[in-house]
Chain A
Amino acid sequence: MSLPILVVDDSAMARKMLIKSLPADWDVEISQAENGVEAIEAYRAGKAAVMFLDLTMPILDGFGVLEALRKEELNSMVIVVSADIQPVAQERVLSLGAIAFVKKPVSSELISTVLKQYGVI
């Protein structure tokens, strides 16, 4: 069965860039969300075994999503994908339960490295 993954970013182009950088032979079913609230809904609907999560978003940002998911006993592998490259931002998302931080712009090398590191592919 395909793995449900969720791509969360307010920018359609950023979602496209991310999806294009996923391994071509990875058997996944991709859903997309434009903000944190949509992301949580999709997560609850079981669409996010793996979540690629942007930080800077309207309505509810990526930090907010991580906090909300933690309250629901975070049952998803969250990879934060962000342009916010402050070391404190990275520490904060990891302490909130994200497994990894990938900086934008993404590349297929960066994404594959992380996925392999965590045994997802």
Chain B
Amino acid sequence: MSLASLSNDQRDALQELTNIAMGQAGASLAALLDEFVDLSVPRISVVELADLPPALASLVGKTNLVSAVRQSFQGYLRGEAIIIFGEPGCRALADLMGFEGELEESGENELLLDVANVLSGACLGGMMEQIRAFTETNGPAELSFSMPSVMARQVMAEQLIDPKKVKWSHALLLEVNFTIKNRNFIAHLTMLMPEEGIEKIRHITDEFLAAF
């Protein structure tokens, strides 16, 4: 096993932890949009940084145009949450939030930011809740978030991240998606963590596994 990988058990535990956390995010989104939200099975991989753009593209769909919001988090865990919206979903969002007619770009950005904030806050908050409940953390297990910002509008997923601008060698890539079937809406919540985050996740999942 290479330093930057997870064992099957660790992966399984992380998947379940994410699954529980995303349930809360899905419920928050459902309440915000007043629609039923289908939840995906979480997908987890450890990728070398150079492979990150194609890895993201294969999660999101290679040919689709997407818009994305990023928000960094730090504290107990450090990384980036990137919330990727399929293009039809962006338009559906304005409808769902009750806006009529054409929405200006600034208004649409605000919608994306609001939804992204709900998803990343609920999901990462839910993960931290599990970590506090099931593991022994040294000191307070808290996260702080940066202000979310729109990182791209209508680009190919492969173009979202320029690996040359990121100083990590590997990344833990976690993806869940939220779908509203009859509205053609999909939002992918991806979480990226650098090497030392992977180490921490291994430690956390080992504690989880030992607890059951």
Binding site for B on A (CB under 8 A): 10-14, 16-17, 20, 55-58, 82-86, 88-89, 103-105
Bound: A56/B22 CA distance, A: 11
Q: If A13-B212, A58-B41 touch, does A83 touch B19 (CB 8 Å cutoff)? A: yes
Q: Of the candidates B16, B21, B133, which one forms a contact with A13 in the assembled complex, judged by CB atoms under 8 Å apart?
A: B16
Identify whether the interface residues of A are mostly helix, strand, loop, or mixed: loop
In-complex Cβ contact of B36 among A12, A86, A104 (8 A)? A86
Interface SS majority for chain B = helix
Q: Which of A14, A20, A55 meets B16, CB within 8 Å? A: A14
Q: Which of B23, B37, B41 touches A104 (beta carbons < 8 Å)?
A: B23
B9 on interface, CB distance cutoff 8 Å: yes
B212 and A20 form a contact (CB under 8 A):
yes
Q: By CB atoms of chain A within 10 A, which of B9, B24, B39, B133 has the most?
A: B39
B41 contacts across to A, CB distance below 8 A: 10, 56-58
**What 7 A-B pairs are tightest by C-beta distance, nearest first?**
A83-B23, A11-B16, A83-B20, A88-B36, A16-B212, A86-B30, A85-B27
Q: Which residues of B contact A13 (CB under 8 A)?
A: 9, 12-13, 16, 208-209, 212
B16 to chain A, nearest CB (A): 4
Known contacts A11-B12, A58-B41; 15 additional CB pairs below 8 A are A10-B41, A11-B13, A11-B16, A12-B12, A13-B209, A14-B19, A55-B39, A56-B19, A56-B39, A83-B20, A83-B21, A86-B26, A86-B30, A104-B19, A105-B130
- Residues 117-133 of B, flagged 1 when their CB comes within 8 A of A and 0 if not, give 00000000000001001
For residue B16, which residues in chain A have a CB less than 8 angstroms away from its CB? 11, 13-14, 17
Contact with A along B3-42 (1 / 0, CB 8 A): 0000001001101100111111011001000001101110
> Could you name 25 residue pairs across A and B whose Cβ atoms are closer than 8 Å?
A10-B41, A11-B12, A11-B15, A11-B19, A12-B12, A13-B208, A13-B209, A14-B16, A17-B212, A58-B41, A82-B23, A83-B20, A83-B21, A84-B23, A84-B26, A84-B39, A86-B27, A86-B30, A88-B30, A88-B36, A89-B36, A104-B19, A104-B20, A105-B20, A105-B130
Q: List the A side residues contacting B13 at CB < 8 Å.
A: 11, 13
Query: Which among A14, A84, A88 has the highest number of chain B CB atoms within 10 Å?
Result: A84
